[in-house]
Chain A
Amino acid sequence: MAEYQLLPDNITGPNTTVLRIADQAYIPDDPANTDRIVYNEWLADGGVPDPAIVTPPPPVVLSADQRIDAGVAAAFGTAEAAFNAINAIPHSGPIPARYEALLTQTKVLAASYLALLGALYDIYPEE
């Protein structure tokens, strides 16, 4: 462990302040600051500060409204894709094959409809 440690960036920009580990003092990048003068001399003598510890952002937790909106959007997208697939089934050709395609898309459509209702009423537990 070095005597000093770099700091992560601020919310609004880079952070050139360094942390003096012994007393947890934050030393600004000002050549008139006497602690900074000591730090700069330490650097010139070959000192290497510890890297900044970047705290990962906490997980984003969606609100109930956001979860409903996301569920509706996903269900709508799926239903729209199933609708388009059904409409794309040709009117001619072997019946078994067209029936299989229709059956598949109907299941997807039903699943998305259930998801849509679930999102709207927020009745399903979170994954």
Chain B
Amino acid sequence: MFDFPSAPTVGQVYDKYTWDGEKWITGAPNNVNVYAPQKNYIINGGMQIAQESGGAASSATYFWPVDMFSMNFNATSGVYSCSRVSSPTPGGSPARIRTTVTTPDAAVAATDLVWISTQVEGSRLIDLLLGTALAKTFTLRFGVKAPAGTYGVSFCNNATNRVYVAEYVIAPGEANTDVVKTITVPGDVTGTWLTDTQAGIHIRWGLMCGSTYAGAPNVWGTANLISSANQYNFMGTNGNVFELFDVAMYQGTVAPAYVLPDYVTELKLCERYIQMLDVAIVGSTGTATGNAHFATLIHRTEMRASPTITVQVALALSVATYTAGGTGQSNRSTRIDVVATAAGQYLVYSGTLKLSAKLL
């Protein structure tokens, strides 16, 4: 026997029916191509790619256990260990982020913070029309495994002066088990929302939040908030474990079931922000051309910005100095200069460059 809700909201689902604003329908509305997949704004929400960490654990702040997601803290005396772990998720991913408290901090000071963050580039969410009268509603869905309590997620623009905090609850019966949560956010109709290559939106999962960064939920405001005053102090108990997985964000009020992205496609998306590039320069230095060589390396994927380069040298023979970047460096290619110890040398230089154009 059906008992449809008497006052449904657009997109509300009951059994196999969806309220379109006028009537209950099955499947998709008539003006929607049912075969068109919905755009997921989140990159690497399946936590498949970990180019930088390689799966290693860290207690540092601004640590990237997987591409596009960073683990952060401020002020707290508590310590955590964070890493990507192999643990199948309900959405089919083989991995998730796991954070474990190794030194508790039961007293939450005003500026104490622990949070997980991801950003979406402005150009990727330009169709949400944020900051305009036509701003669209969007829905975040994510898998989480955590101790019981109330938690917050904040959404904010690049300047962190347009902020929306939403709460979700891990009920006692859901504690420390895999659950999926959804949060629907009305698009912000004011403020400055970047649509270029910089971070368009920050999404931050609060694990600990002092009063300086806690505010009222479910309303757009101007204060830089991470969570609400109801935020559970995850750092308060030694051994607490928080896991995040299967993260996606869609336009509208309904989040479809999570679909794990194709690995290769997701890697290409991640490479816009970070990529590892192998380099090898082999040559002899004559007298007429001097003692230096340089190479221009084409990026596998065009990057968001000209990247920061960290060099991991594997082999250097007859190499006096090397420098990366400089003339010709861009978001499409990277340059490296190598100077030999003397003329007439047979020079060999090989290594790996870490190129980072991560969002902040």
A-B pairs with the 4 shortest C-beta distances? A17-B325, A15-B326, A34-B360, A32-B305
A17, B325: Cα distance in complex, Å: 6
User: Min CB distance, A23 to chain B, in Å?
Assistant: 6
Contact B342 A28 (CB under 8 A): no
Supplied contacts A10-B294, A24-B310, A25-B356, 16 more A-B pairs, CB within 8 Å: A7-B326, A10-B327, A10-B328, A11-B290, A12-B294, A15-B326, A15-B327, A26-B308, A26-B311, A28-B325, A32-B197, A32-B198, A32-B304, A32-B305, A58-B343, A66-B287
Contact B342 A33 (CB under 8 A): no
8 Å CB interface, A57-83 against B = 57-63, 66
Contact B320 A55 (CB under 8 A): yes
Q: How many A-B residue contacts, CB cutoff 8 Å?
A: 103
**In the complex with contacts A16-B326, A35-B356, A37-B360, A26-B309 CB distance below 8 A:** yes
Q: How many residues of A contact B (CB 8 A)?
A: 35
List of A residues within 8 angstroms of B323 by Cβ: 7-8, 10, 15, 17, 26
User: Min CB distance, B306 to chain A, in Å?
Assistant: 4
Contact A33 B307 (CB under 8 A): yes
List of A residues within 8 angstroms of B304 by Cβ: 32
List of B residues within 8 angstroms of A59 by Cβ: 342
A14 lies within 8 A of chain B by Cβ: yes
Interface on chain A toward B: helix, strand, loop, or mixed SS?
A: loop
**Residue of B198, B308, B327, B328 with most chain A CB atoms under a 10 A cut-off:** B308
A44, B306: Cα distance in complex, Å: 21
List of A residues within 8 angstroms of B165 by Cβ: none
A36, B309: Cα distance in complex, Å: 12
List of B residues within 8 angstroms of A66 by Cβ: 287
Contact B308 A15 (CB under 8 A): no
Contact partner, B305, options A13, A14, A16, A33, Cβ 8 Å: A33
Contact partner, B331, options A8, A12, A30, A35, Cβ 8 Å: A30
Contact partner, A25, options B198, B308, B340, B343, Cβ 8 Å: B308
List of A residues within 8 angstroms of B223 by Cβ: none
B281 lies within 8 A of chain A by Cβ: no
A61, B343: Cα distance in complex, Å: 7
**In the complex with contacts A12-B328, A13-B327, A15-B327, A26-B310 CB distance below 8 A:** yes
List of B residues within 8 angstroms of A16 by Cβ: 326
User: Min CB distance, A19 to chain B, in Å?
Assistant: 8
List of B residues within 8 angstroms of A120 by Cβ: none
A27 lies within 8 A of chain B by Cβ: yes
List of A residues within 8 angstroms of B306 by Cβ: 28-30, 32-33
List of B residues within 8 angstroms of A36 by Cβ: 308
List of A residues within 8 angstroms of B326 by Cβ: 7, 9-10, 13-17
**In the complex with contacts A33-B357, A61-B342, A11-B309 CB distance below 8 A:** no
- A57: nearest residue on chain B (CB-CB)? B291
User: Min CB distance, B285 to chain A, in Å?
Assistant: 9
List of B residues within 8 angstroms of A24 by Cβ: 310-311
Contact partner, A15, options B197, B325, B357, Cβ 8 Å: B325
Contact A62 B308 (CB under 8 A): no
List of B residues within 8 angstroms of A13 by Cβ: 326-327
- B359: nearest residue on chain A (CB-CB)? A34
B141 lies within 8 A of chain A by Cβ: no
Contact A58 B294 (CB under 8 A): no
A27, B357: Cα distance in complex, Å: 10
Contact B343 A60 (CB under 8 A): yes
Contact partner, B320, options A15, A58, A60, A62, Cβ 8 Å: A58
